A and B are shown apart, each in its own frame.
Chain A
Amino acid sequence: MSDQKKIHDFAPRTLGAGFVHKRDLVLAIILVAFGAFMYYEASKFPEAPAILGDTLNADVFPKMLITIMFLLVAIIPFEFKLTPEKVAKIDKDRDDKTLTITWLTILLLLTIVSFAEFLGAVVTMVITCLALPLLWGERNYIAVIIYSILFPGFVYLLFNKLLGLYFNPGILEAFK
């Protein structure tokens, strides 16, 4: 079978698409919704005062930009017809489902940042050094403990003591 034939076959079979690429259609809808929201927000910007004469209103540039974005986004669902090999590579990445570990990592990072101000810099660093390796499957507990003491200690000495960076004490303030 010639390479060209393979390309013709490849679109409907690999991409699950005949006329449009379904995943990219969903992506385009999300981007259009975002663009529409930004366009709507831009239309609420107040006009420039008359004293400024010919100066463009604040909404002109964003609206122009969003219009260009809409035009580009409209191509996405059909991009597999223009550059099938490139879209196939993107699909390969997308086929690799985001693993539970990635979702858990996102959740952990969000939690750490949520409590960072309350906990303070040093405690946040220690918790990160303990929690992230354990979440990622590290079972050498002694190594994790040593790491969670030495690394934050090194960072504290380097940035706070040597470079004079302010570290929010957080809950450690109570022990001062």
Chain B
Amino acid sequence: MEDVLRGFQLLMEVQNLALIFGGVLIGVLVGALPGLSSPMAIALLMPFTISLDPVASISMMAALYCAGTFGGSITAILINAPGAPPAVATALDGYMMAKNGEPGRALGLAAICSVLGGIFAIIIFLFATPLLAEIALKFGPVEYFGLTLFALSMLAAMSGKSSIRNLIAGAMGVLVSTIGVHLATGVERYEFGVPELTEGIKFVPVLIGLFAMSELLNQSKTLNAAVERMSAKALKLPTIAELKELKGTILRSSGLGTFIGILPAEGATVAAMMGYNEAKRFSKTPEKFGTGCAEGIAGPEAANNAAAGGAMVPTLALGIPGSGTTALILAALVMHGFRPGPYLISETPHLVYAIFGAMLFANFAFLGIGLVGAKFFSYVTFIPKRFLWPSVFIFSLIGSYAYSSAIFDVWVMLISGIIGYFALRNGFSPAPFVMGLILGKMVEETFTQSMVIYESNFFNFFESGVFIFFIILTCISLTTPFWGTIRKKLAAKKVE
């Protein structure tokens, strides 16, 4: 209880509250702007937070994450251009409701359902994080190795164009993490005579390059895309009766979203799509979906915001990112000198509760911002790309340089961006690479320690029941994406 109070006390400082509110504003803004995203904003912000209070910095990023998920819905509803991938499902009915002359109602529904989903997940987060951390404290290196393998295997099921490519991107990320001095032997690996590589590749410039630069190059192809905007004069909150009607959808989606968020690598986009599908499946009027029905907004909105809270659970309790964005928050924790994983809650519990408080605050703050500023945020999409993206490039330049005042990092950022752009064209998403990059050190460390413990015999790892459990989960997650295809092929054979 003392730690909870200490965490909240930290948040109550004016400077910290201002930072968190700033995070919410930036989150809604980047969420609303198609092309800009919460991971990109966090990557760009990261180097500038070095000199700030670490707890406030991490809390600001957590608030930004929550708000960014909601921000995407504003443009999804008003201009049918989801500002962020999790809002794609919201656009299906949100935009239709706006087109039917009720944009204010659609925005109000999205805001309230997001808040409810978010609060649901935060409550689970508050109880699940210490519990999970307590279990993880009992893990030895081999169990942790099993867990990281499972987390990496979840990349196969992660939203993206191809499961195989997600896994390759993840493996590539792990390989890049091996650059630099091998801690166990002191051997320099892949430094190619470049002194800067001895310390390894720094996260921040790579993250900025992959998320901001590759998107800049992508945007250069669509400079003249036109958008049609609905005018929303006022945001209309749903009535109590309407909420009562939607309570089943909201609860189901919140639970589903939180669960999906907790799964390593899965994030808000998958949660939103599943929230929409489940809302439709349980609906008494599924035929109304796609025509502007309230359940079609409540389902994905409650799910995607709940997933944001859920994704923080494995990130903080296990040091395993629950989504692409939390992978960046994990990198920020490392940058600020924290030790992500079960020790985080035993060593710095106030940080975990401060994050919890910041996310709770963010949920109410974006409701207020949504009520007051939805109209304004729909206008930000009219900022010409020809001016918006050069500004992003400048922030990327400064952000990557500021990290260690080295032009080498700027080159790393730019090259990562160019590689990221061509990789994206070939179906490789940046998020799995980042997950691999961040988990890489942990995978290698736990593998090396396990090999020492089990006398260099991998098969001895199976003496641990927990390891076997994770290996079974790994096998399931690796094969899941192909079940649908196999089922279809079998059905086709039956028909023939």
Give the B-binding residues of A (Cβ under 8 A). Answer: 2, 4, 27, 31, 38, 41-42, 45-46, 48-49, 52, 54-58, 61-62, 65-66, 68-69, 72-73, 75-76, 79, 82-83, 86-87, 89-90, 93-94, 96, 98-99, 101-102, 105-106, 109-110, 113, 116-117, 121, 124-125, 128-129, 132-133, 136-138, 143, 147, 151-152, 155, 159, 163-166
Contacts and interface: CB of A to CB of B under 8 A. Distances in A.
Contact of B390 (A46, A61, A132): A132
B220 A62 contact: no
A20 to B, nearest CB: 14
B485 A83 contact: yes
A151 B172 contact: no
Given A4-B492, A46-B187, A83 B178 contact: no
Contact of B168 (A31, A106, A138): A31
Contacts of B213: 109
Contacts of A121: 398, 401
A23 B182 CA distance: 36
Interface stretch (B252-260, B287-295, B404-412): B404-412
Given A99-B220, A136-B386, A155 B451 contact: no
Interface of B: 48, 51, 161-165, 167-168, 171-172, 174-175, 178, 182, 184-185, 187, 189-190, 213, 216-217, 220-221, 223, 384-387, 389-391, 393-395, 397-398, 401-402, 405, 407, 410-411, 414, 418, 421, 424-427, 444, 447-448, 451-452, 455-456, 481-482, 485, 488, 492, 495
Contacts of A68: 171
A113 B190 CA distance: 24
Contacts of B481: 83
Contacts of B424: 93
A72 B217 contact: no
B184 A56 contact: yes
A123 to B, nearest CB: 12
Nearest to A117: B407
23 contacts: A4-B495, A27-B426, A52-B184, A55-B448, A56-B456, A57-B185, A57-B187, A61-B448, A65-B175, A72-B167, A72-B171, A75-B164, A79-B162, A83-B162, A83-B163, A83-B482, A87-B427, A90-B426, A93-B425, A136-B386, A137-B223, A138-B384, A163-B51
Nearest to A27: B426
A159 B485 CA distance: 52
A-B pairs with the 5 shortest C-beta distances?
Answer: A58-B187, A90-B427, A132-B390, A58-B182, A48-B185
A66 B178 CA distance: 12
Contacts, number: 171
B168 A163 contact: no
Contacts of B168: 31, 69, 72-73, 76
A52 B185 CA distance: 8
B485 A82 contact: yes
A89 B159 CA distance: 14
Contact of B220 (A56, A57, A102, A152): A102
A166 B414 contact: no
B87 to A, nearest CB: 19
A61 B426 CA distance: 27
Contacts of A101: 220-221, 223
Contact of A165 (B391, B398, B407): B398
B407 A128 contact: no
Which of B167, B184, B185, B410 gathers the greatest number of chain A CB atoms within 10 Å? B185
A128 B389 CA distance: 10
A62 B389 CA distance: 37
Contacts of B488: 4
A99 B220 CA distance: 9
B452 A54 contact: yes
Nearest to A64: B447
B175 A137 contact: no
Contact of B398 (A46, A69, A155): A155
Nearest to A159: B398
A109 B269 CA distance: 32
Contacts of A96: 221
Contacts of A2: 495
B394 A61 contact: no
A146 to B, nearest CB: 10
Contacts of B492: 4
A36 B178 CA distance: 16
Nearest to B394: A125
B161 to A, nearest CB: 5
Given A83-B163, A83-B485, A55 B185 contact: yes
A55 B168 CA distance: 27
Nearest to A31: B168
Given A136-B220, A163-B51, 13 more contacts: A48-B187, A55-B185, A58-B187, A75-B164, A101-B221, A113-B411, A121-B401, A132-B386, A132-B389, A136-B223, A151-B390, A159-B48, A165-B398
